[in-house]
Amino acid sequence: MRSLQRRVTHAVVASATFCAVLVSASTTASAAPVVRNVPGDYPSIQAGIDAAVNGDSVLVAQGTYVENIDFKGKAIKVKSTRGAAATTIDAGGRGPVVTFASGEGRASLLRGFTLQHGRAETAANVSTGGGVRVDGASPEVRDNVVRANAAAFGAGVGIRAGSPLIVHNVIVDNTGLESGGIGGGVFISGYPNYRAEIRRNTIARNANDYGGGIGTISAGLAVVRDNAIADNVGGLQGGGMWLSTFSRVIVVQNLIARNVHGGAFVFGAVAGLRFVNNTIADNTLGSALHFTLHSSAAQAISNVLVGAPGFAAAFCDPLYESKPPQLIANDGFTPDRPGFEGNCASSPGTNGNISADPLFVDPAAGDYHLRGASPSIDAGDSIALGLTPFDLDGNPRIVGAAIDQGVYEASGADLALGLTATPNPVMTGKPLTWTLTATNHGPLPATNVQLQDAWPNALPGGVQFRRVTTSTGSCAWDGGTSVTCSLGALASGASATITLVVKPRGRGVLTNTAMVTANEVDPNTAVNTSSVSVTVRPT
Ligand SMILES: [Ca+2]
């Protein structure tokens, strides 16, 4: 039926001989695009692809399809109707799940599948790309889950020449097959001018000898941007990333954390290889950034680098490279040793580089946002090449005086509250002074700062209120056991001090709890509340 419609349309166009230009244009468009349904119209996805022509779509219903698919050079969209969670292509351990090896361009789209159990090994003459194999092609691969595949190079996604867009996929649990394998999650090759783009993917729990998350060889002008690269294992080098030999990769705003064998290992760079605004932390058995052979051409700008115990955050290997890479406005910090070592050891204090705890909000829970007091706030290079207008959360850059180092731009106002009691213990009937200190750690000014303070009466003789004073704004006693303060605005870095005096009577424990809030978003509310208990003793 559909092919009949196509022939009819061709006939109509062909009869329009009075206008050669129109005929030419219409023939190129090749009639209306056809939607081919699987399994409604075709028994397999490949059968749908085989029947399709440029411009068509192959729409796949939910289910598991045991097959390998090959786009065969066609500019078509292959999409699931219900998304990756409901639609799986399973290669059953035979060959890559999906192949783009016939010169496909960006008009070839694969979207919304789980791609699993693919295999690419040297013995089978296809060693690259267990889940997705790209060889001399530039398709778009979007919104897929690429899991449990195996290959020598690029167990999840393998790119051997081409400029594909690999965007918003979850690439997990893929493993290398052969000794010396490169790229557990993604492998990129494409010398000299191919430009693969790896953007907004989660690349986790993959493994290969070199580059557990991403491995590159001669990767041309590849761009790796806005990815989370975590919990990968580089068996020999480069837990998160391994960049080798004429790789002119631009690595922008990636969170590279908890990988085994370091964050990123640069083994051969050419001018243009650049790390910008990445956060690289909590990787084990290696530095956050390790520069060796031919890496003096590399640049690292505005990164937050935290080294594993025993490893410098940034190590510039003097044995293989006499000159350091260009390091600008980075924070390189290791708790138990210098942040920068090797021939970049003198970086702190030059070119905007610092070495200080970046003060993540909660790294143990995977939260690498900056606390308000972080030295990385406003400490980056606002004009670095490769910046994007949004941070990894999608919030605007640049907030405050300058761009922050790392993947996140701090905004809002980080309030903190301190509370002390004097004396403690206190004698019954004697004055007890509570001192409350509300501090705005920024980065923005806090407005309409409110403080609530309460001391529920647990003493037999009661608690007599005496007075409350504040350094800014005003406070009011409610006539019972609480005080409310309106402190107005607090600039970034400013504090307000409230002094509250009472006389407890009787004996026991008196607990005071206070909280501070403001109109602004607060990136770290854990420190907004404070509490202190005082023992009241008889005279
Ligand atoms: Ca800033």
**Distance from the CA of 69 to the center of ligand 1, in angstroms?**
47
Q: How confident is the model at residue 237 (pLDDT cuts 50, 70, 90)?
A: very high
Give the pLDDT score at 321. Answer: 81
Contact 491, 440 (CB under 8 A): yes
**Distance from the CA of 411 to the center of ligand 1, in angstroms?**
7
**Distance from the CA of 523 to the center of ligand 1, in angstroms?**
14
- Note the pLDDT tens digit of each residue in 325-360: 999 999 999 999 999 999 999 999 999 999 999 999
Q: What is the DSSP string of 202-265?
A: EEES-EEEE-SSEEEES-BT-EEES-EEES-EEEEE-SSEEEEEEE--EEES-EEES-BS-SEE
Please list, in sequence order, all residues whose beta carbon lies within 8 angstroms of the beta carbon of residue 11, skipping any fewer than 6 positions away: none
- Note the pLDDT tens digit of each residue in 44-99: 999 999 999 999 999 999 999 999 999 999 999 999 999 999 999 999 999 999 99
**Mean pLDDT score of the chain, rounded to an integer?**
92
Task: Classify domain 413-537 at the CATH topology level.
Answer: Immunoglobulin-like (2.60.40)
Please tell me the distance from the alpha carbon of residue 317 to that of residue 290, in angstroms, as a whole number. Answer: 8
- Residue 282: count other Cβ atoms within 10 Å of its Cβ: 20
Domain residue spans of the chain: 55-313, 413-537
**Distance from the CA of 386 to the center of ligand 1, in angstroms?**
17
**Distance from the CA of 521 to the center of ligand 1, in angstroms?**
15
**Distance from the CA of 396 to the center of ligand 1, in angstroms?**
10
Q: How confident is the model at residue 30 (pLDDT cuts 50, 70, 90)?
A: low
Could you tell me which CATH class the domain 55-313 is placed in? mainly beta
Which stretch of 142-151, 194-203, 361-370 has the lowest confidence by average pLDDT?
361-370
**Distance from the CA of 330 to the center of ligand 1, in angstroms?**
14
- The answer, yes or no, to whether residue 9 has pLDDT greater than 50, is no
Q: How confident is the model at residue 125 (pLDDT cuts 50, 70, 90)?
A: confident
Contact 149, 117 (CB under 8 A): yes
**Distance from the CA of 197 to the center of ligand 1, in angstroms?**
27
Residue scoring higher pLDDT (492 or 278): 278
**Distance from the CA of 400 to the center of ligand 1, in angstroms?**
4
**Distance from the CA of 307 to the center of ligand 1, in angstroms?**
23
